[in-house]
């Protein structure tokens, strides 16, 4: 039995065409919505992510997973067949952002805050009353798994 068989599966998900399927073996933190230009260009609108540690992410199928180095610091994972944008991570490692729209429902997630709001598009307003940060979230922003 593998380590992941002994852990509790908390989420499953994948891309639109099924070329990417995965399981997550840890509680997920609330969604943080990013308004930076790269996220908006990648998603076509603003984008949100929950996170997992890479060692708690198991691919069932990753035949169509492609990584794009979107900056000197970060890369984004997407499906090269259907175009679904699913992952975001620092090249140096650490948490892996997972787009909540790629998760099978029910997710049990909630949206907690907005970041990089100074770069929000001029075609929408942020009106949900959640905390907003002009840049990255603060280290004291506590985001407990939901």
Q: What is the structure's pLDDT at 118?
A: 95
Torsion 106-95-136-123 (CA) sign: negative
3-class DSSP state of 20: strand
Q: Which residue has the higher pLDDT, 143 or 39?
A: 39
CA distance 65 to 83: 10
In a domain, residue 126? The reply is: no
pTM of the model: 0.88
Whether residue 37 has pLDDT greater than 50: yes
Whether residue 140 has pLDDT greater than 80: no
Our count of domains for the chain comes to 1
7-31 average pLDDT score: 95
Whether residue 33 has pLDDT greater than 50: yes
Q: What is the structure's pLDDT at 3?
A: 55
Residue corresponding to tokens 């929950």: 50
In a domain, residue 18? The reply is: yes
In a domain, residue 109? The reply is: yes
Whether residue 89 has pLDDT greater than 70: yes
In a domain, residue 13? The reply is: yes
Q: What is the structure's pLDDT at 1?
A: 41
In a domain, residue 134? The reply is: no
Structure tokens at 19: 């070329």
Mean pLDDT of the chain: 91
CATH code of the domain in which 32 resides: 2.170.150.70
Q: Which residue has the higher pLDDT, 136 or 67?
A: 67
Q: Which domain holds residue 51?
A: 7-119
């Amino acid at each position: 039995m593998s380590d992941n068989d002994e852990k509790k599966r908390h989420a499953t998900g994948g891309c639109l065409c099924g070329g990417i399927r995965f399981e997550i073996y840890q509680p997920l933190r609330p969604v943080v919505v990013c308004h930076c230009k790269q996220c908006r260009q990648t998603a076509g609108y603003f984008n949100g992510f929950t996170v997992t540690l890479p060692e708690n992410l198991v691919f069932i199928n990753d035949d169509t997973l492609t990584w794009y180095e979107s900056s000197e610091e970060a890369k984004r994972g997407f499906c090269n067949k259907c175009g679904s944008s699913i992952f975001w991570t620092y090249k140096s490692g650490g948490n892996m952002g997972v787009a909540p729209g790629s998760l099978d429902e029910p997710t049990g997630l909630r949206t907690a805050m907005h970041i990089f709001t100074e770069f929000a598009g001029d075609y929408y307003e942020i009106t949900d009353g959640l905390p907003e940060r002009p840049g990255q979230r603060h280290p004291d922003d506590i985001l407990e798994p939901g």
